[in-house]
Amino acid sequence: MAERSFEVARLPGFKFIAITAFVLLYMPIITLVVYSFNSGQSVAVWEGFSLDWYGKAWANEAVKGATYRSLIIAASASAIATTVATMAALGTTRRKAFKGQTFIYVMINQPLMVPEIVTAVALLIFFASIKVATGYNGLIYLIIAHAAFCIPFAYLPIRARLEGMDLTLETAAADLYASHWQTFRRVTLPLMLPGIIAGAMLAFVISLDDVVITEFVKSGGQDTLPTYMLGQMRRAVTPEVNAISTVLLALTVVLLTAFFLLTRKND
């Protein structure tokens, strides 16, 4: 080792394992994306490039309906979650410790701690009895269920943004005789906007991806894209599932990249 410099942080074999891990992490996803463009039925033998499976998926009424429901639920749930999370973040940050603070934190973070299957079962029981009592079976159950588990994901980036914000601008506004509301509307809200957008995007992605809770809460004919895919997995896998996955994947990557760019500017 004398002839080359001694790198203290080098541990033998670590780089190899790490590179292998990255390859293994991406290989299945890349395979999935590549074979969604395969012209043949097979998900293992390449038969030429085509967009057939995207066309077939889009021509499928079940997929169209599921896409529509996924988007409606994700948009509504993330809107609700972001609104209430913004208010909660304003209530719980930038002030001295208050009575019940820990309780509120625990409540907000609860969906991150309870296993999804347990929440799913709980909502199944609860909503089933409401459905029987009211006879109403609409999407609203799914929207509320999604809104609840999206709250912590919307709350965390908003809170992080608020905590990193400079108080002096608000003090300045108050010094210049702005009312509480004017200060909030003209100073606080624009400053915290990147956090709110980031939170909303995260909530949207989380809602769009949910399988377990949706699977248990949905009524007949209320499949979203992930539950539709889960149902398809029981049968032979066709590249149609790959095509749907690729579209969802692309959407996630776009939203996440935007999220990173938004939150990076904070620093």
Stretch 63-92 residues interacting with other proteins (CB under 8 A) = 80-81, 83-85, 87-88, 90-92
Task: Pick from 51, 114, 172, 261 the residue near other proteins by CB under 8 A.
Answer: 114
Binding mask 156-195 toward other proteins (x if CB under 8 A, else -) reads: ----------------------------------------
- Applying CB under 8 A, does 260 fall inside the site for other proteins? yes
Span 126-145, contacts to other proteins by CB under 8 A: 126, 128, 144-145
**Closer CB to other proteins, 187 or 206, in the complex:** 206
- Applying CB under 8 A, does 52 fall inside the site for other proteins? no
**Shortest Å, Cβ 87 to other proteins:** 5
Binding mask 4-43 toward other proteins (x if CB under 8 A, else -) reads: --x-xxxxxxxx-xxxxxx-xxxxxx-xx--x------xx
Residue pair 88/104 in contact by the 8 Å Cβ criterion: yes
**Shortest Å, Cβ 21 to other proteins:** 5
**Closer CB to other proteins, 98 or 181, in the complex:** 98
Task: Pick from 51, 62, 117, 189 the residue near other proteins by CB under 8 A.
Answer: 117
**Shortest Å, Cβ 168 to other proteins:** 20
Q: For residues 210 and 214, what is the distance between their CA atoms, to the nearest angstrom? A: 6
**Closer CB to other proteins, 122 or 191, in the complex:** 122
DSSP line for the chain: --SS---TT--TTHHHHHHHHHHHHHHHHHHHHHHTTBSSS-SSS---B--HHHHHHHH-HHHHHHHHHHHHHHHHHHHHHHHHHHHHHHHHSSS---TTHHHHHHHHHHHHHS-HHHHHHHHHHHHHHHHHHH----THHHHHHHHHHHHHHHHHHHHHHHHTS-SHHHHHHHHTT--HHHHIIIIIHHHHHHHHHHHHHHHHHHHHH--HHHHHH--TT---HHHHHHHHTTS---HHHHHHHHHHHHHHHHHHHHHHHHHHTT-
Residue pair 62/229 in contact by the 8 Å Cβ criterion: no
Task: Pick from 67, 70, 78, 119 the residue near other proteins by CB under 8 A.
Answer: 119
Span 192-231, contacts to other proteins by CB under 8 A: 205, 208-209, 211-212, 216, 226, 229-230
Question: Residue count at the site for other proteins (CB under 8 A)?
Answer: 91
Task: Pick from 52, 111, 184, 186 the residue near other proteins by CB under 8 A.
Answer: 111
